[in-house]
Amino acid sequence: MLALVAGAAACASFGGARPAWAPLPDAEVFNSPWSPGEVLTSLEDSLVARGFVIQAIVPLEGYLETRWFDVASRRAVPEPFSDVDSVVKLRFFADPAGLHTRVIAEAVRRTAWDPSRPSRELEVMLPLDHPGRLLMDSLLALVPRGSRTPEAVSTPLSGER
């Protein structure tokens, strides 16, 4: 069984939409009673309603990522773009964890365009007062927090059989 899990993990690192790197340390993290698929579908619907273009959504991988979005003009923009302060990308990770889903959300911007460096090294989390971060927070407010309650265990009353 361990070999099967290790093999699946190794295959996942060679493909799929979810990046191999971890979310940024200051990403938003919380637990939701919804399944990963429910979390991602809700976020996708809310993002599309706000004008975002989805770059990747893969519920089986627990991942959703938008294209770059200019919060000033409220439209998706192609790379490379010139206004690195108002163009943001949102990423959401949703992983099953016991009786809940662990949700991790990033709202990032580029610091520069430098083809000699990996693009992830040029991304930083948005400050709390940035319009892109406020937008991400408003999306996350629609996702319930907490854990699912285990179903009540049915036990026969004494004397019942």
Residue 7: its pLDDT value, please? 39
| pLDDT mean values, one per 10 residues, the chain (161 residues) | 40 70 94 96 96 95 96 91 90 95 96 88 95 96 86 50 50
**CATH entry 3.30.70.20 includes domain 29-140:** no
- pLDDT value, residue 62: 96
Is this structure's pTM higher than 0.75?
yes
Torsions phi, psi of 86, nearest 5? -105, 0
Paired tokens of 121: 């090294």
What pLDDT, on the 0 to 100 scale, is given for residue 153?
A: 39
pLDDT the model gives residue 64:
98
